[in-house]
Amino acid sequence: KAGVTQTPRYLIKTRGQQVTLSCSPISGHRSVSWYQQTPGQGLQFLFEYFSETQRNKGNFPGRFSGRQFSNSRSEMNVSTLELGDSALYLCASSPVGDLGNTIYFGEGSWLTVV
Interface residues with other proteins (CB under 8 A)?
A: 4, 31, 33, 35, 42-45, 48, 50, 55-56, 58, 90, 92, 94, 98-108
> Residue 82 Cβ, how far from other proteins at the closest point, in Å?
22
> Residue 80 Cβ, how far from other proteins at the closest point, in Å?
25
Rounded to whole angstroms, the Cα distance separating 38 from 112 reads 11
Minimum CB distance to other proteins smaller for 17 or for 54 = 54
> Residue 55 Cβ, how far from other proteins at the closest point, in Å?
8
Helix (H, G, I), strand (E, B) or coil at 110: strand
Question: Identity (one letter) of the amino acid at 25?
Answer: P
DSSP 16-39: T--EEEEEEPPTT--EEEEEEEET
Minimum CB distance to other proteins smaller for 14 or for 102 = 102
> Residue 72 Cβ, how far from other proteins at the closest point, in Å?
13
Cβ contacts of 39 within 8 Å, gap of 6 or more = none
Minimum CB distance to other proteins smaller for 17 or for 48 = 48
Rounded to whole angstroms, the Cα distance separating 34 from 114 reads 22
Minimum CB distance to other proteins smaller for 17 or for 41 = 41
